[in-house]
Amino acid sequence: MKSFLSKLQHNYYEILKVLLFLLAIVIVVWVSPKDSFFKYEFQISKPWNHQDLIAPFDYAVLKTDEQLAEERAEVEEDFYPYFYFDEEITNAGMEQLHAVFGLEESALIADGQLPDSMQHLTFLRELYQNIQNVGILRYNPVLGGKEDGFIIRLIRGKEVEEVSIGQLYDIREANAIAQLMIGEAYVDDSLFLTQLISNTLVQNVFYDESRSKAELETILNGISPSQGLVQKGELIISTGELVSAEKYQVLFSLKSEYEKGLSSSDAWLYIYIGIVLIITLLITLQFLFFRLFKHSFYAEMKNVVLVLMSQVLMIIVADFIFYNYPEWTYIIPFAILPILIVAFVDSGIAIIVHLVTVMLLGFFAPNSFEFFYTQFAAGLIAIFSVKSLTKRADLFRTSLFVFLTYGVIYVSMMLVQDGSLDNFSWKVLTNFFGSAALILLAFPIIFVYEKLFGVLTHLSLLELSNTNNPLLRELASKAPGTFQHSLQVANLASEALYEIGGDSLLARTGALYHDIGKMNNPGFFVENQVPGHNPHDEISYEESARIIIDHVLSGIEMARKARLPEQIIDFIRTHHGTRRVEYFYRLERKLNPGMEVDQSEFTYHGPVPFSKETAVVMMADSVEAASRSIAEPNEQKINDLVDNIVQSLMDDGQFMNATITLKEITTVKKVLKKKLMNINHIRIAYPD
């Protein structure tokens, strides 16, 4: 048990990475469609490239979406909506007529103006009853644009009758009829009686929404989704035959019936197992590639998390679009995934990840072959064109190249399959343009990733290496000699890294900040001193060494306050490694002969360089600083200086953790010698 726990403890980092890949497999399986796949691909107006297809069973030919939509529209157009006659509202209006008439009648009789009130009331009652019994229709949007002949079904009590809307009154027509009838019967009292009837007439025919919608839905659900029948053994299509609209629908119906039959039978378990195996195989191949061929990348957990998270998110978005909005498939910016990986990792990993991603999505995408061919080619073009993403124009250029690639592939596929451009679609080209334009979303995503994972891109390095950065401006102001030294080291290191194939921009940026700690005590460093005054003369050698060593710790503190990335702070930590402050150490020993000197007081705290870039900056820093002390520099002196300093660094074990080879160190020495001779304006000695 202890042995098992010990192995688990020593390999937990590796186990965690494996678990991340397993989690990625689980998520991809979960979001992927679980339907079976029809093994034939076909497109309308394209030739049938498979063997003759015979119907394996009887099945109905499905109607197209357009046909179903047309039939639904016809049903809705011919449907007679339900309205109901409201007796309660009608009776309430009659009661209101009595009440209002009674109030007005008393006042008029008292003035002697209405001698025959009962006759008037009887007339109004009959008139009200006649108009309301016909029905006063309340307008509803369902009647919008309908003519008078439009039929509705009117519910009166338990009976339903079909009437045209022209047979009913609206409130305006009802008032007009009442005014006309009163005017013919009572000329003298027409105004009074008209006002009474107008105030009491009510709309009593209303739209019955619930019954209308229920019956309409029942009728719509009764529309047959199919038309015609294909019998088992019938030839569906022959090899090379053009897929017409009719043939396409027959094939589509077979595909739907085939997939539905498998999904609804016991075969679903085998389908699910097949999907799991496909996804597991592809992601496992990706895992093995990382582990076997990209070990430096695989060693960093954040790299693995960044790549897998980006890949899984792209698959989730794509599967959602495939399932819900398949017409938007080609507007998804698939090329953004390899661009992000190139920006943070490298192009080789980007190619493999993009390949695996489009293979996984190709199983579920419409027109799988065209999808894979189009997206893989566009992704490769994106990788080749974006390079290292050192400026904003790179991304705009990549977006343009991806769009052109989409266009070329679309036209070439159409020419190969159709032999013409008759079916060219501007809508498809618009989708391609949208996909290429969405690649520009990489800008904000890169910013978020940098903050989330603490990884630098060349865009950030360019911003940090700007000498107008507040920290570098402060260095130039407080310690101008150190600032000039840092510029020289940055130039030397970037040139050397360019030759041996490292990240020259990272080394240049790190070199610019490696000595910022000297700002606390600039006068104690020789490059900032004025002739005739050296503050070290006033303190002990041990104190001088402490001040010199402290510039590393001070630099780290300043960098963290300025929120510099850890990758830049690494150059501050490692540029002196674990070496001694040799000058003051020797003076201390000379001052105290025969006594044991505590070396820890004269030794930098480290760590030693652990990358190619930090190792080169250490060499460039040591060589540039020492070259300033050469009197009358010439080619031989500079050669000897570079060889001796680099050899001493190697003898001290400063490069034992760095990923740099002896061959690369030799190349770096050649570059440093050449650059120092150029700086000191030394001509190479030619043979006699």
Residue 459 lies in a domain: no
Does pLDDT of 104 surpass 70?
Answer: no
Give yes or no: residues 413 and 319 share one domain.
Answer: yes
Give yes or no: residues 432 and 487 share one domain.
Answer: no
Amino acid in the structure at residue 362? G
- Which region among 9-13, 178-182, 402-406 has the lowest average model confidence (pLDDT)? 9-13
Specify the 3-state DSSP secondary structure of 496.
helix
Does pLDDT of 673 surpass 60?
Answer: yes
The mean pLDDT of 114-140, rounded to a whole number, is 80
User: Could you report the per-residue pLDDT of 167-215, keeping only the tens digit for each?
Assistant: 999 888 888 888 888 877 776 667 777 777 788 888 989 999 999 999 9
Does pLDDT of 48 surpass 80?
Answer: no
Q: In terms of residue numbers, what domain contains 306?
A: 268-453
Which of 218, 270, 223 is CA-nearest to residue 82? 218
- Is there a contact between 278 and 32 (Cβ–Cβ < 8 Å)? no
Out of 453, 485, 507, a domain closes at 453
Does pLDDT of 78 surpass 90?
Answer: no
Percent of the chain predicted with pLDDT > 70:
91
Specify the 3-state DSSP secondary structure of 129.
helix
Residue 466 lies in a domain: no
Give yes or no: residues 445 and 342 share one domain.
Answer: yes
Out of 453, 485, 518, a domain closes at 453
Does pLDDT of 38 surpass 80?
Answer: no
Give yes or no: residues 445 and 537 share one domain.
Answer: no
Give yes or no: residues 191 and 88 share one domain.
Answer: yes
- Greater confidence (383 vs 248) lies with 383
According to the model, what pLDDT value does residue 201 have?
Answer: 87
User: Could you report the per-residue pLDDT of 433-449, keeping only the tens digit for each?
Assistant: 999 999 999 888 988 88
Can you give the CATH number for the domain in which 522 is found?
1.10.3210
Out of 393, 420, 453, a domain closes at 453
Residue 318 lies in a domain: yes
Cα gap 557→541, rounded to integer Å:
25
Does pLDDT of 376 surpass 90?
Answer: yes
Percent of the chain predicted with pLDDT > 90:
35
Give yes or no: residues 302 and 389 share one domain.
Answer: yes
- Which region among 139-143, 395-399, 676-680 has the lowest average model confidence (pLDDT)? 676-680
Structural domain count, the chain: 3
Give yes or no: residues 503 and 649 share one domain.
Answer: yes
- Which region among 35-39, 262-266, 576-580 has the lowest average model confidence (pLDDT)? 262-266
Give yes or no: residues 164 and 96 share one domain.
Answer: yes
Q: In what order do the strands lie in the sheet with 82-85?
A: 159-164, 151-156, 82-85, 205-207
According to the model, what pLDDT value does residue 103 have?
Answer: 59
Does pLDDT of 53 surpass 60?
Answer: yes
User: Could you report the per-residue pLDDT of 464-475, keeping only the tens digit for each?
Assistant: 888 888 999 999
Cα gap 470→468, rounded to integer Å:
6
Summary mean pLDDT of the chain: 85
Cα gap 560→25, rounded to integer Å:
38
Give yes or no: residues 363 and 494 share one domain.
Answer: no
Give yes or no: residues 543 and 409 share one domain.
Answer: no
The pTM is what?
0.65
